[in-house]
Structure 1
Amino acid sequence: MRILILGGTRFLGRTTAAEAVSRGHDVTCAARGQAGPTPDGARLVKVDRDAPDGLTPLAGEHFDAVVDVSPISYPWVRRALDAFGTAAHWTFVSSISAYAHPDRLDDVLLPPRQEHADRSVVMKDPDAYGSIKVASENAVLDTAADRALIIRAGLITGPADEHDRFGYWANRLSRGGQVVVPDTDLPMQIIDVGDLATWIIDAAERGTTGVYDGIGPAQPLLDLLGEVAAAVGPSAELVRVPESVLLEHEVGYWSGPRSLPLWLPDTHRNMGNRDAGPAMAAGFSPRPIGEAATRALAHERELGLDRERKAGLPAEVEQEILAKL
């Protein structure tokens, strides 16, 4: 198959391109070419999706399948559909942020918002991010209809993850000792980037279509962390700390400096509790949490276990919390 990856030089896009190349497909990656190299065997065509004519370098080309991992911009998606929307299969990677009520398990979506938004603003505003994903989904479904696969991805982990969230836990638990964890019954789930890429290419080959939550099975966060510890840090002791104490010490939710990654407030408690069953019935096969943790730890070691992190609890803050329990 001739497969166009809109992206292909970082994280999910690059992993998907590598998976397609490994199966013998003719792979073209369309990107600025600034985030990193494409996988060996893939062709890079440099484009600028911010420009109305930014896909001109691909003019006249035809593809059997298109995979779009566009992060935020509705115009990017619309222009790609205008250029290549006749492809036999179209995958758009959306987000569970498309759901309007992250504290509920219904399928109510945000209203579409189609204007271009600055990345720095959108990535800080879950509603703006989710609504642009909805606008993009609607454009894909309007154009590709029964040829489209929409994957509303949850927390994507694995090698080349740039956000340090799941990797924080693999790193910290591998060191052992007392580890501060939130005292919560919060459900949580992840999806390994390699598993998601495999499913995307499987779906292109098989013609799988529909709208799915792309995520592994949900379980209580503390159970998930226990599986991570069993795989990479069996000597670690999980010390449950009440939310009130964590907030007193200015520990943040979900991600960012001075945070406990994957921990969410009750207002978002079902953001990590989507139903993985339909995706698994459609061919998605998630690896065990322990294996995902081992992969994440290997990546952490390549980067350096003591590097400055984008997410996680600094050692001195953790010790301060432990000392006051």
Structure 2
Amino acid sequence: MPHLPRRHVLAAGFGAAALPAWAQGASSAPPRPMHLLILGGTGFVGPHQVRYALSRGHKVTLFNRGRRPKEWPAEVEELTGDRDTNDYASLKGRRFDVCIDNPSAVPHWVRDAAAVLKSNVAHHLFISTVSVYADNAQVGADESAERERYTGPDRFAETMASLRKNMALYGPLKAACEDEVIAQYGAAHSAIVRPGLIVGPGDETDRFTYWPLRVQRGGPTLVPPRTDPVRLIDARDLAEWTIRLAEARATGAYNALGPTGNLTMGEMLDTLRSALGSKAEWVEASAEWLEKEKVSAWGDLPVWIPGQGETAGFHRRSNARAVAAGLTFRPLADTGRDTVAWWQGLDEKRRTAPLRAGLAPAREAELLQRLRG
């Protein structure tokens, strides 16, 4: 859940440009193959980007530390380096049509990569986050909303280690990264993508995964207010759309949020129950009761953020600009089924360990007992 301090706005004139028709749908082929550089590429979203880019005829080069090798359906060039130590030697002198930066969360990563790349890359696409926004109370806020401001002594001195020690810096540092992208590459050669909750097969956070697994288990299930809103995006939809943005040399900022219309917790749960053939029974608790029982939103009951007060707009941000630029969404039922199938393919140690998000079964049973009597 984002932090909510000071505010600033993105560089003036950084608006979203209209995309050509061929770039607005997955069924339309790009006009020509590109050479894509993906910084990262082996985490959650990256492998989906790689496979989709290959399917559309592009050449793909990855740059990372080489610690998570993957098998690809076609040739992928893999360069190694270390952004913590400013090791970009393998990129020097290389030219690319587009660079997609998936992992940068500290500004010196953006600055140091640009020292090597900005003269050798025609376009830069930065994956940011909706956590850059300073205010989550406004319903329908778009990409022009004020962002958090880094107020520490030196944004370039912040490291991934310092971020892990103080996650309240996440939003301000991501906003500072956005600013550095524009400073280095220019607004006419950059795009900023701000996802919210990314879900689906490969999600190691277990935030969304908790719900299909819990629904599949069935029985009385503790749920938050079912009318509260939800926004999420399947990692595959995000990945494929970023490749199409890269093909179109899109500029501007985009809230990468789904679905197209409004979705509530109740609709999400009902969809998962139907898709998984479950007989789960919803036992709904009010936000006030959950707070009294110290059941946290986002952590104990993942995905859920109260739809009132200072978080009323968190799951109600506008995604109109992204949808107009061709962002599409697969059915939530498919995401739920595919997530369960992915989970069932993991090794036994991972599947039998406690989930990284959500209520433990014993804790949920205690809460259900108190709630019901």
> Fold-level match, TM-score > 0.5?
yes
Q: Tell me, in whole angstroms, the C-alpha distance in 2 between the residues paired with 1:84 and 1:62.
A: 8
Q: Tell me, in whole angstroms, the C-alpha distance in 1 between the residues paired with 2:236 and 2:111.
A: 27
Q: Which moved more, 1:201-210 or 1:121-130?
A: 121-130
Query: Is contact 2:150-2:169 (8 Å) kept?
Result: no
The one-letter amino acid of 2:294's match is E
How far has the Cα of 1:268 moved from its partner? 2.6
Q: How does 1:168-187 map to 2 (within 5 A)?
A: 168-183=210-225, 185-187=227-229
How many residues are aligned here? 321
Tell me whether 1:283 sits opposite 2:326 in the alignment. yes
1:246 aligns with 290
The SS at the match of 1:115 is: helix
1:311 aligns with 357
How far has the Cα of 1:229 moved from its partner? 1.9
TM-score, length basis structure 2: 0.80
How far has the Cα of 1:126 moved from its partner? 5.5
How far has the Cα of 1:288 moved from its partner? 1.9
Q: Tell me, in whole angstroms, the C-alpha distance in 1 between the residues paired with 2:115 and 2:122.
A: 14
Tell me whether 1:231 sits opposite 2:265 in the alignment. no
Q: Tell me, in whole angstroms, the C-alpha distance in 1 between the residues paired with 2:294 and 2:237.
A: 35
Query: Is contact 1:165-1:312 (8 Å) kept?
Result: yes
1:108 aligns with 146
How far has the Cα of 1:171 moved from its partner? 0.7
Q: Which moved more, 1:208-217 or 1:163-172?
A: 208-217
How far has the Cα of 1:269 moved from its partner? 3.2
How far has the Cα of 1:127 moved from its partner? 4.3
The one-letter amino acid of 1:191's match is I
Tell me whether 1:128 sits opposite 2:169 in the alignment. yes
Residues 39 and 270 of structure 1, relative CA distance in 2, 3 Å threshold: farther
Q: Which moved more, 1:99-108 or 1:194-203?
A: 99-108
Tell me whether 1:57 sits opposite 2:101 in the alignment. no
Query: Is contact 2:206-2:356 (8 Å) kept?
Result: yes
Residues 233 and 307 of structure 1, relative CA distance in 2, 3 Å threshold: farther
1:271 aligns with 314
Q: Which moved more, 1:179-188 or 1:132-141?
A: 179-188
Identify the structure with bigger relative contact order (alpha carbons < 8 Å, sequence gap 6+).
Answer: 2
1:261 aligns with 302
The SS at the match of 2:204 is: coil
Q: How does 1:165-204 map to 2 (within 5 A)?
A: 165-183=207-225, 185-204=227-246
Paired residue for 2:255, among 187, 191, 213? 213
The one-letter amino acid of 2:134's match is A
How far has the Cα of 1:242 moved from its partner? 2.3
2:25 aligns with none
How far has the Cα of 1:2 moved from its partner? 0.9
Query: Which runs of 5 or more structure 1 residues have no equivalent in the other structure?
Result: none
The one-letter amino acid of 2:359's match is L
How far has the Cα of 1:124 moved from its partner? 6.8
How far has the Cα of 1:306 moved from its partner? 4.1
| C-alpha RMSD of the superposition | 2.1
Tell me whether 1:302 sits opposite 2:345 in the alignment. yes
The SS at the match of 1:225 is: helix
* Residues 114-146 of structure 1 deviation map (CA, whole Å, 9 limit, x = unaligned): 234343553575541111111111121232321
TM-score, length basis structure 1: 0.91
* Residues 16-67 of structure 1 deviation map (CA, whole Å, 9 limit, x = unaligned): 1222122221111100111343635212111100123x11111110000100
Q: Tell me, in whole angstroms, the C-alpha distance in 1 between the residues paired with 2:359 and 2:161.
A: 24
How far has the Cα of 1:204 moved from its partner? 1.3
The one-letter amino acid of 1:97's match is S
